[in-house]
Structure 1
Amino acid sequence: MSGSVSKKEQLFALVSANPYVTQQELADALHLSRSAVAGHIAGLIREGRILGRAYMFPETRAILCIGGANIDRKLRTAAPLRMGTSNPVSQHESYGGVARNIAENLARLGVSAALMCAIGDDASGKGLMNHAKSSGIDTSGSLHVSGACSGTYTAILDHSGELVLALAHMELCELLNRDFLISRRSQLNAAAMIVADMNLPPDSIQLLMNEALVNNKPLIIVAVSQPKMARLPAVLNGVRLLILNQAELEQRLVTRFSSHEGIIGGCLQLQAQGVTDVIVTLGAEGVIFTDAKRGLPAQHLAAHQAEVVDVTGAGDAFAAAVCWSLHQTPDDMQLACQRGLQLAALTIKTETSVLQTLDATIFNEG
């Protein structure tokens, strides 16, 4: 066994020095058969240490976002909403979905981003994929479902831009099941970080948690709604970070919180269930976050002051900036939250779900 390991490490060193080396050249240098070389390479790919020809290395690995991708339809009332009657509205359509929005934000921030979602073969699905590719997102792991309609998210906003009601048609995400994820295991293993939204079926979330434990890979789970909190397993071992809002936290713990101290107590309950860190978003009140990696107590950060144009996408922007920051500086949760709040404030000033002028220079100040 020790000889086999030694040969594999020698092979890894040769590939590191020359990613374009051929298998025959490796076989000659190591005095191995071509089949033995192929076996070692397959093992390195399974371990996520190289990503196949031309043997891309972890420094270039993508942040893989798994979950919802859909068409966002935003209807904004021209005056205060009146129930039980017709309300004049303006309408705006864009590409959305929690995982998709996070992936686009990440790509615009300049990191390698991949999206694993399920879309139909309709015009919406084709548009979603074309837009993602044009944004620099790798969509090669996504599922294309013949004869299906792609997902939609319809948000009703009041005249001030605040969300009144949202209607989500996300049933294609049910096809991102355990068997599908296993079929994409090489891409899962190759990712630098996995960001999963809770549109995924429960068995898929459990699989990602199990593999994060085995592979010591950061897994960030982003809640999407109160009803889908039921998809989160009882034991949260393997989750590096859970991002959710106060209502979703209350749904999980079957408890109402009336103070920041109560919310901090709720975060500690989630940590007792196995998650490493928790971020609770509080809208205009900012966020509460834990910082287990540095052994610091839970803290509150105030939100940035911003004129609200449209809140849709602000939470996804926050999550993306947090993921980007943790990818750069893995153990600084406070910095990640500060960056998240900064990007969220910029996003709510626009009508788009993703800030179209976004790049990493926005974090240079401070």
Structure 2
Amino acid sequence: MTKREEEILKIIKENPLISQQELADKFGLTRSGVAAHIFNLTKKGYIAGKGYIINEPNFVTVIGGVNIDILGLTDTTLIQQNSNPGHITFSLGGAGYNIAHNLTKLAVPNYFITVYGDDLNGQKFEEDAQKNHLAIQHSKKIPDKSTSSYLYVNDPDGTLNVGVDDMGIYDDITPDFLSERLATINTSAYCIIDTNLPEKTIDWLFDNCKVPIFVKTVSLNKSYKLQNVLSKIDTLMTTDKELAMLTNSSVTDAKTAEKSAKKLLKKGIEHIYVLMPHTGLFYIDNRNTKLIAGIPIKRVNNNGASAALTAAVVDSRLNNLGWEKTTQIAYTAALICMESAKSVNPLLSKDYLLKTVTRYLES
């Protein structure tokens, strides 16, 4: 590929619907000159089809939130309404960000689509994306708004005690915002979303997205947004508490999880993963069920575990692994995340994940 072709391809990745005349104006070329470069890129296999579809095999799109996570981890059991000794950490997080970051660490090509503020935390996100090779060219910086933030306090075993989120900026992920990016979304293998998206945007996406959609729930007070689209979800990643809310039932163990999950299968969801941090991982589809019992590890932080699980499921599906192997890999990814104070464990890689599966589940 020539330098000029690299420059043109970069612009096309950022805007797959850009016209040849716009490209010509940008580079000071004739339209016929641009057409020749595009012909060469197509011939070389970098572009496929109309609308400058980028020919990247098995890439996925992730649409969701990016936050600044502020974690307070107590040294002993939390005493309510009192100062507690412990440790405070600041890091980038958010369900969508965590999924995209985990996918990148697993070498799965992906575009992360989000909104963030024109502030110091937004700058940190841009610097982090460059450092960790996250593709955020379809994301948008919103002037005069603050990047989303999430403040939470965990008990020593990693269990969430209380959290406060400031995420009003996600209202800017509108149907109009996504419609400008729909060509990219619909040429991906899968679209993964979290429930930080506004309800009307989720409804619109399920009406317009032509590829399987994976959904990760993020909290009890946001799971209601899925009520109109349950019949259209390919794969749902959730927790026992969020499953209970979605089905208006009690979920306390694998038996009640199965009973509740079957209600969602009847509505049309094809695959369901229920992460119960201390109990294990429950998987169900219309033919199979599996519970992987909880494995004793030193839990530091459960936040981010479902995102790691989601990324591992996506990677396994892209590689056509069976449901049973996928479930093992997914739960191991969640465990690896729980062992780190960060929402994405720096140790994660595909090699490390597979070695840990062997150590935890196949020994």
Alignment-derived partner of residue 115 in structure 1: 112
In 2: Cα distance, 1:51 partner to 1:126 partner: 35
Cα RMSD for the two superposed structures? 2.4
- Tell me the CA shift for residue 75 of structure 1: 0.7
Letter of the 2:255 partner, please give it: E
In 2: Cα distance, 1:166 partner to 1:333 partner: 33
Matched, 1:349 2:339: yes
Aligned CA distance change for structure 1 residues 194 and 49 (closer, same or farther; 3 Å): farther
Contact 1:195 1:221 survives alignment (8 Å): yes
Contact 1:51 1:190 survives alignment (8 Å): no
Which of 252, 269, 277 is matched with 2:263 structurally?
269
Aligned CA distance change for structure 1 residues 50 and 166 (closer, same or farther; 3 Å): farther
Letter of the 1:196 partner, please give it: I
- Tell me the CA shift for residue 98 of structure 1: 0.3
In 2: Cα distance, 1:135 partner to 1:351 partner: 18
Alignment-derived partner of residue 282 in structure 2: 288
Aligned CA distance change for structure 1 residues 364 and 306 (closer, same or farther; 3 Å): same
Matched, 1:336 2:333: no
Matches within 5 A, 1:1-366: 50=49, 56-59=54-57, 61-212=58-209, 215=210, 217-292=211-286, 296-329=287-320, 332-365=322-355, 366=358
- Tell me the CA shift for residue 51 of structure 1: 8.0
Per-residue displacement from partner, 1:172-212 (whole Å, max 9, x unpaired)? 11111112111211221222211100000112212222234
- Tell me the CA shift for residue 83 of structure 1: 1.2
The count of residues paired between Structure 1 and Structure 2 equals 316
In 1: Cα distance, 2:304 partner to 2:128 partner: 17
- Tell me the CA shift for residue 305 of structure 1: 2.7
**SS at 2:278's partner residue?**
helix
Gaps in structure 2 of 5+ consecutive residues: 1-19, 21-31, 359-363
What TM-score do you get using the length of structure 1 for normalisation? Answer: 0.80
What TM-score do you get using the length of structure 2 for normalisation? Answer: 0.81
Letter of the 1:356 partner, please give it: P
Aligned CA distance change for structure 1 residues 264 and 352 (closer, same or farther; 3 Å): same
In 2: Cα distance, 1:72 partner to 1:51 partner: 41
- Tell me the CA shift for residue 362 of structure 1: 2.4
- Tell me the CA shift for residue 49 of structure 1: 5.6
Percent identical residues: 24
- Tell me the CA shift for residue 141 of structure 1: 0.9
63-72 or 301-310, larger mean C-alpha shift: 301-310
Contact 2:116 2:148 survives alignment (8 Å): yes
**SS at 1:199's partner residue?**
coil
Contact 2:316 2:326 survives alignment (8 Å): yes
Letter of the 2:343 partner, please give it: S
Letter of the 1:233 partner, please give it: Q
**SS at 1:350's partner residue?**
coil
Alignment-derived partner of residue 13 in structure 2: none
**SS at 1:208's partner residue?**
helix
- Tell me the CA shift for residue 282 of structure 1: 1.1
Letter of the 1:81 partner, please give it: L
**SS at 1:284's partner residue?**
coil
Letter of the 1:265 partner, please give it: K
Contact 2:98 2:344 survives alignment (8 Å): yes
**SS at 1:237's partner residue?**
helix
Contact 1:304 1:342 survives alignment (8 Å): no
- Tell me the CA shift for residue 235 of structure 1: 4.3
Aligned CA distance change for structure 1 residues 151 and 51 (closer, same or farther; 3 Å): farther
Letter of the 2:290 partner, please give it: Q
In 2: Cα distance, 1:50 partner to 1:336 partner: 32
In 1: Cα distance, 2:228 partner to 2:184 partner: 27
Contact 2:156 2:300 survives alignment (8 Å): no
83-92 or 123-132, larger mean C-alpha shift: 83-92
